[in-house]
């Protein structure tokens, strides 16, 4: 199967009418949630959920402009309420869908409904996609590279520790080692990688407005499952921030006691900075225990990404 065929297969899974959830998309593509999300993000520069939401909105804009009711468009696009659809539409286009319905559109104006995208994938009427060949492997802004490399490199390390003895995984290589004072000691590979994954779980909960997450297991299998679950959600959060250019917005984190205010961009920088530190700490500890491990260089990762 060629790379082009695989991209098309991924896009079909993302945009299938029956695939409302990430699990459904991944199942259609015969892949795990994590690997499906990673393939789609590598091929398009967007997470599956963000890609589907954008293309569905483009289709809705085209359909509403040709007479479909806003209510029908909302449920056709997979929204649970007209109000939620209208908010998302207005955020994307700057006007409510009712304005487009009233204004209408002339034949041949499909591209006027295209939203900004990091790739050439757009809705093309009546029921297909338009993919620019020159954008099938899109360039990634440095922030997108840092985010995706962090996720991919974490997955690589979690896979790596699954093959080492548990005593090496849990050995206190650096007794007293503290990365952040409020996180406590992280003397072992197990502690470092668990804190790294848990950091994303906490911040995603803050952005999504959900309860403080329960801490899962720290054995390699449990850690892999936790990372696979949180990685696409973290990328979706960051992609949403980028699309809304909300880097200077402030997040009031009610999970803190008392609640604390954070600049959104500084939170992402915090996660990436200490994530990079922890990944290199894990490598240092693995080498100290006599295990071979790569250097985690983003240049090497990027080359493999474009050659894949």
Give the number of C-alpha atoms closer than 13 A to the C-alpha of residue 240, restricted to the C-beta side. Answer: 17
Model pLDDT, residue 121:
81
Model pLDDT, residue 133:
46
Model pLDDT, residue 106:
41
Helices (H), 45-188: 48-64, 70-76, 82-93, 97-103, 142-161, 166-170
Q: Residue 96, SS3? A: coil
Six token digits for residue 211: 């309860």
Quickly count: other Cβ atoms within 10 Å of residue 132's Cβ. 12
Distances (CA, A) of 7 to 18, 30, 36, 128, 223: 19, 14, 11, 15, 29
- The pair phi, psi for residue 60, each rounded to 5°, is -60, -40
* Burial of 163: CB neighbours in 10 Å, binned 0-12, 13-18, 19+: exposed
- The pair phi, psi for residue 122, each rounded to 5°, is -140, 160
Model pLDDT, residue 137:
41
Mean pLDDT by 10 residues, the chain (308 residues): 61 84 89 89 86 90 88 89 90 85 47 75 69 46 89 95 97 96 95 98 89 93 95 90 87 71 92 97 97 94 70
Model pLDDT, residue 119:
77
Model pLDDT, residue 127:
54
> Domain-by-domain residue ranges, the chain?
3-135, 142-307
In the chain the beta strands, taken as DSSP E runs, fall at: 121-124, 128-131, 250-253, 260-263
Task: State whether CATH 1.10.10.60 applies to domain 3-135.
Answer: yes
Instruction: Report the distance separating Cα 50 and Cα 41, nearest Å.
Output: 10
- Local structure of residue 31 (DSSP, 8 states): -
Q: How far is C-alpha 65 from the chain's CA centre? A: 31
Model pLDDT, residue 4:
45
What is the residue-wise DSSP string for 42-55? Answer: HHHSS-HHHHHHHH
Question: With left for phi above 0 and alpha for psi between -120 and 50, is residue 122 left, alpha or beta?
Answer: beta
* 298, 149 Cβ separation under 8 angstroms: yes
Instruction: Report the distance separating Cα 143 and Cα 175, nearest Å.
Output: 33
Q: Is the link from the previous residue into 74 a cis peptide, with omega within 30 of 0?
A: no
CA-nearest of 226, 224, 232 to 214 is: 226
CATH architecture of 142-307: Up-down Bundle (1.20)
Model pTM?
0.57
């Amino acid at each position: 199967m060629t790379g082009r065929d695989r991209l098309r297969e991924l896009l079909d899974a993302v945009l299938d009418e029956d695939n409302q959830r990430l699990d459904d998309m991944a199942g259609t593509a015969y892949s795990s949630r994590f690997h499906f999300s990673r393939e789609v993000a590598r091929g398009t520069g967007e997470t599956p959920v963000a890609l589907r939401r954008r293309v569905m909105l483009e289709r809705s804009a085209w359909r509403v402009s040709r007479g479909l009711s806003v209510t029908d468009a909302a449920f056709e696009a997979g929204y649970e309420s007209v109000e939620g659809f209208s908010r998302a539409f207005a955020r994307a286009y700057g006007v409510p869908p009712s304005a487009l319905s009233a204004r209408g559109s002339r034949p041949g104006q499909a591209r006027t409904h295209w939203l900004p995208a990091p790739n050439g994938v757009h809705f093309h009427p009546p029921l297909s996609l338009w993919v620019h060949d020159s954008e099938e492997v899109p360039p990634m802004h440095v922030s997108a590279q840092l985010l995706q490399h962090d996720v991919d490199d974490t997955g690589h390390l979690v896979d790596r520790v699954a093959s080492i003895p548990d005593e090496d995984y849990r050995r206190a290589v650096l007794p007293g080692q503290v990365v952040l004072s409020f996180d406590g000691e992280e003397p072992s590979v197990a502690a470092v990688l668990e804190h790294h994954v848990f950091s994303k779980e906490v911040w995603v909960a803050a952005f999504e407005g959900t309860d403080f997450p329960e801490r899962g297991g720290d054995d390699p299998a449990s850690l892999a499952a936790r990372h696979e679950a949180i990685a696409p959600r973290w990328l979706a959060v960051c992609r949403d921030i980028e699309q809304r250019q909300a880097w200077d917005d402030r997040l009031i984190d009610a999970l803190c006691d008392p609640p604390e205010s954070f600049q959104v961009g500084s939170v992402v920088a915090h996660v990436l900075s200490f994530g990079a530190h922890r990944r290199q700490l894990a490598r240092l500890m693995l080498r100290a225990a006599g295990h071979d491990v790569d250097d985690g260089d983003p240049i090497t990762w990027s080359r493999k990404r474009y050659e894949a």
